Structure 1
Amino acid sequence: MGEEVKVIVFGLANEEYGIEVEKVRTIERMLPITRVPKTFAFVKGVINLRGVVIPVIDLRGRFGLEETEPTESSRIIIVAVNELEVGFIVDAANDVIDIDADTIDTPPEVVGGVKAKYLRGVAKVGDDRLLIMLNLAEVLNKSEIIQLEQQEA
């Protein structure tokens, strides 16, 4: 058995995804989002979370999936990547689980319509459950991080 990894499980377009707990700052219900002009369509705008302005990305749009209106179960997961806090809109935040790092396999080229570069791997959980692990560094690739930082300035 390898090292245990604590993971936040969230839903997106009928798939389950995971982000390591240490990268997640907080999970919030949907908040009013202020649109920012001249940004990618998947950058929904910014929120004011306890006095901090945080850019918000719709993960469905980021992954090229069909975007939907937020529902009662939609959440904004605030993650920290290289000193930058960003919110991800997801369909639902379901669970916190421990997975064995050894059960994370290299992702196939496309999983659920999502390109492999956005994925760290696919984790086997139990006998019949697969969890798609995000590669946050790619989800927020360098040029987009720079663009997000410029919006905050």
Structure 2
Amino acid sequence: MSTDTQLDAETAAAVAAHEYLTFTLGDEEYGVDILKVQEIRGYDQVTRLPGAPDFVKGAVNLRGLIVPVVDMRLKFGLSQARYDETTVMVILAVAGRTIGVVVDAVSDVIRLDAAQLRGVPDLGSAIDRKFLTGLGVVDERMLILLDIERLMTSEEMGLVDRALAA
């Protein structure tokens, strides 16, 4: 492989790292690194798992793979989610594991450049700052950018073995 090809691949990876899938939870808009997104599906009924925290809705069978499903609205302490025609399940590839997250609606994929990114403010909210990568500003919109890998591999989530997350 030539050096030029390697450089082009590295440049492409750097550009893609600034693309985010945006979705809504309540009145807020969030973004996750598009490279973590495996697919977007309509919301399916899940099989409830006994003893799981409330925000873990259960699991679904995704083409033979059992996938845990987290309701992000419940995880972030927002009001009870309504499940309607806009509710979707975003399937993520995180730390070698497939995890589904339920969100109110998916908006679009947005590319943010460095000038549109802001640091993580002190929010004093239900979302721990360590799970945020920053804020994205697009026209009059403000996106809360999640570090979805860190969130899903956190000890409080209990979804990924610590050895895999390291």
How big is the shift at 1:103? Answer: 2.4
Aligned pairs, number: 147
Q: Tell me what 2:144 maps to.
A: 132
Give the CA deviation at 1:54.
0.4
Over the aligned positions, Cα root-mean-square deviation in angstroms equals 2.1
Stretches of structure 2 lacking an aligned partner (at least 5 in a row): 1-13, 162-166
Contact 1:9–1:97 under 8 Å retained in 2:
yes
Q: Greater relative contact order: 1 or 2 (C-alpha under 8 angstroms, separation 6 or more)?
A: 1
Once the 2 structures are TM-superposed, how far is the Cα of residue 67 of structure 1 from its aligned partner?
2.0
SS of 1:143 mapped into structure 2 = coil
TM-score by length of 2: 0.79
- Give the Cα separation in 2 of the matches to 1:113 and 1:41: 15
After superposition, what is the alpha-carbon deviation per residue over 1:49-97, rounded to whole angstroms, capped at 9, x for unaligned? 1111100000011111112221110000011111011111000001112
Which residue of the partner structure matches residue 5 of structure 2?
Answer: none
Question: 18-27 vs 101-110, which deviates more?
Answer: 101-110
What's the offset of the Cα at 1:3? 4.7
Checking the alignment, whether the CA contact within 8 Å between 2:131 and 2:147 is kept in structure 1 is yes
Superposed displacement of residue 141, structure 1: 3.6
Q: Which runs of 5+ in 1 are unaligned?
A: none
| TM alignment of 1:32-71, pairs within 5 A | 32-71=45-84
Kindly indicate which of the two structures has a greater share of residues assigned to strand. Answer: 1
* Alpha-carbon shift at residue 22 of structure 1 (Å): 0.7
With the length of structure 1 as denominator, give the TM-score of the two structures.
0.86
Runs of 4+ in 1 over 4 A off after TM superposition: none
Match of 2:130 in 1: 117
The answer to whether the aligner puts 1:98 opposite 2:95 as a matched pair is: no
